[in-house]
Amino acid sequence: MSVDPILVGLLGNRLHSILAEQQNALVNTAFSSVVRESLDLACAVFDSRGEMIGQSVGGTPGHINAMATGMHHFVAAYPPETLVPGDVLLTNDPWQTAGQINDITVATPVFLRGRLVAWFASCCHAPDIGGRLVSAEAHEVFEEGLRLPIMKFLRAGEVNADLELLIRANVRTPEETIGDLYAQVTGNEVGAASLVRLLEEFGLDSLDEVAAEIMNRSERALRDALAKLPDGTYTSELATDGFDDEEVVLKVAVTIDGEDIHLDFAGSSPQSRRGINVVLNYTRAYASFAVKAAISPEVPHNAGSFRPVHVTAPEGSVLNCTPPAPVASRHLIGHFLPSLLMTALPGNALAHSADALWMTIWRGIDAEGREFMLNVFQTGGIGARSTKDGLNTTGFPSGLRSTPTEVIETMAPLIQRERVLRMDSGGAGKWRGGLGQCTTMAARGEISWSVNGNVDRVRRPASGVDSGHDGAAGRFELDRGALPSKSRVNLRPDDVVNVDLPGGGGYGDPFERDPGAVLADVVDGYISVEAARELYGVEVTYHGDPEALVRLPEDYTAVSSRGRK
């Protein structure tokens, strides 16, 4: 039966608003800064079969895209006849959802007149799930914390008290972890109530037919975009920092065949004995995101936009690890996939970015003997685009926000002494790479503390494209020496930790950059006078008061060795 196209448009827009309600309710009731400030989450609505109809505006690709396929596990585990209104399910199984046990998916079935008609779900990064703190130090997933199979968190509206007690007993942050779970339940309830009102308003008994049309439209739009690309197979390779004794290389062969695209990650490194391994669900998540972002970013995101994208990776590889592989820091590999894929796609329009989100976990005991633990997210620069500079300190591809200084200093006995854009960190080019930032962290008072630095691109910077220069590599160090990445380090009370994030790669020959843009970068503090001269061939001179704290653009002149002023 055909569906009224006007009805499809109306309901599609209303669902978009309902998803915003769901996310706002979740964020506004969340307990942890991970969810409330950094938006390490995803929210979505599904039809009765568990097919994703749409997502909220916020949310990471690793959560939302993995949840889109992971919902099928929920539907299989709990058929409609086993559920009643008020039931809420959850799991953090890495191989069924978002690839690490810190990410908990909460799914709520929606009932209309006693019949299951849809699902609302969210996935959030829990501030703690027990085991080792998030790092690459574990050698199997059992060391990484509490692993929860798909089970009921609420039964007919009543909290599963035994499950809550079990979680509380196994995490370092029970109030925040359980509080975020309740926030996820609340967000789902808000979305479900609005959806029921919407169906009643339009006199609908089911959402499935409209949902199918919404998904088919996205599939058709992505297939049309793929059909415009030249058929063929394109390859790309990228090396991450890995470890001193273990190189981690990612490879992909992208085959465009008419309206379909096949992504084969054969040749990538075997799974690691350390916790950087990626489950296939997470590989699919970031691979499908990259294709859609590069080819047709305006297409509404749902199950239909996944159908033309086919992803394979060898079982037992770092991109398709098998249990009980450790996976806690899988983002340190998974976040590189968009750069890897965009390099392979014909008409590459983006240099490599800082890619992997930097996540530092600060833990200790303050001067009064109180324990604290804080997750801090930070982002480096995006690679330059074929027609624009890269964005500074922007969470790509994760979409996460950096943790505000005010939140850091409120929630832990820490002081962020400096937080500035990192001059000269963006790769030089006709289009400059986005800048990273420099931050320093110190203790407030005589405390016992430690840090886990889940960081990458310390040894291998973001690559430039088409004669563009590499971005600056990151730095994670004390004044007395470098700190190891991906592991926990005990600190002295007087230590100061320097966290300098990497920049994105440049695009095109730097000598083709407009001298006016070079001058503007110097004035803004993005590049130094020395870099302007040596990398761009532009001599910039400051004529104002050398003691002035505010230096105006008219106080500078620029002369290019290329003959322009």
Q: Is the pLDDT of residue 371 over 50?
A: yes
Q: For residues 326 and 273, give the distance between their C-alpha atoms in angstroms, rounded to a whole number.
A: 7
- pLDDT given for residue 115 in this prediction: 97
Q: For residues 429 and 468, give the distance between their C-alpha atoms in angstroms, rounded to a whole number.
A: 5
**Which residues are paired to 451 by β-bridges?**
362, 489
Residues 6+ apart with CB under 8 A from 229: 256, 295, 345, 346, 347
- C-beta atoms surrounding 541 within 10 Å: 11
- Per-residue HEC secondary structure of 392-426 comes to CCCCCCCCCCCCCHHHHHHHCCEEEEEEEECCCCC
Q: Is the pLDDT of residue 562 over 80?
A: no
Q: For residues 215 and 53, give the distance between their C-alpha atoms in angstroms, rounded to a whole number.
A: 6
Q: How many CA atoms lie within 13 A of 333 on its CB side?
A: 37
Q: How many CA atoms lie within 13 A of 408 on its CB side?
A: 24
Confidence of residue 35 (pLDDT cuts 50, 70, 90): very high
Q: What is the mean pLDDT of residues 57-77?
A: 93
Residue 465: DSSP 8-state = B
Query: What is the percent of the chain with per-residue pLDDT over 70, rounded to a whole number?
Result: 99
Confidence of residue 382 (pLDDT cuts 50, 70, 90): very high
- Kindly calculate the radius of gyration of the chain based on its CA atoms and give it in whole angstroms: 24
Residue 372: burial class (beta carbons within 10 Å; 0-12, 13-18, 19+): middle
Q: pLDDT by residue (tens digit) across 406-434?
A: 999 999 999 999 999 999 999 999 999 99
User: Contact at 8 Å (CB) between 258 and 226?
Assistant: yes
- pLDDT given for residue 3 in this prediction: 87
Q: pLDDT by residue (tens digit) across 232-268?
A: 999 999 999 999 899 999 999 999 999 999 999 999 9
Q: What is the mean pLDDT of residues 138-146?
A: 97
Q: Is the pLDDT of residue 347 over 90?
A: no
- Return the C-alpha torsion angle 153, 156, 162, 163, nearest 10: 0
Q: For residues 519 and 527, give the distance between their C-alpha atoms in angstroms, rounded to a whole number.
A: 9
Q: For residues 383 and 351, give the distance between their C-alpha atoms in angstroms, rounded to a whole number.
A: 4
Q: pLDDT by residue (tens digit) across 5-21?
A: 999 999 999 999 999 99
Confidence of residue 479 (pLDDT cuts 50, 70, 90): confident
- C-beta atoms surrounding 543 within 10 Å: 10
Query: What is the percent of the chain with per-residue pLDDT over 90, rounded to a whole number?
Result: 94
Q: Is the pLDDT of residue 192 over 70?
A: yes
- pLDDT given for residue 348 in this prediction: 73
Q: What is the mean pLDDT of residues 387-391?
A: 97
- pLDDT given for residue 564 in this prediction: 43
Q: Is the pLDDT of residue 493 over 90?
A: yes
**Cα–Cα distances in Å, from 321 out to 3, 69, 236, 310, 467?**
42, 17, 21, 18, 36
Q: For residues 171 and 26, give the distance between their C-alpha atoms in angstroms, rounded to a whole number.
A: 21
Does a cis peptide bond (omega within 30 degrees of 0) precede residue 324?
yes
Q: What is the pLDDT of the chain when averaged over all its residues?
A: 95
- C-beta atoms surrounding 496 within 10 Å: 17
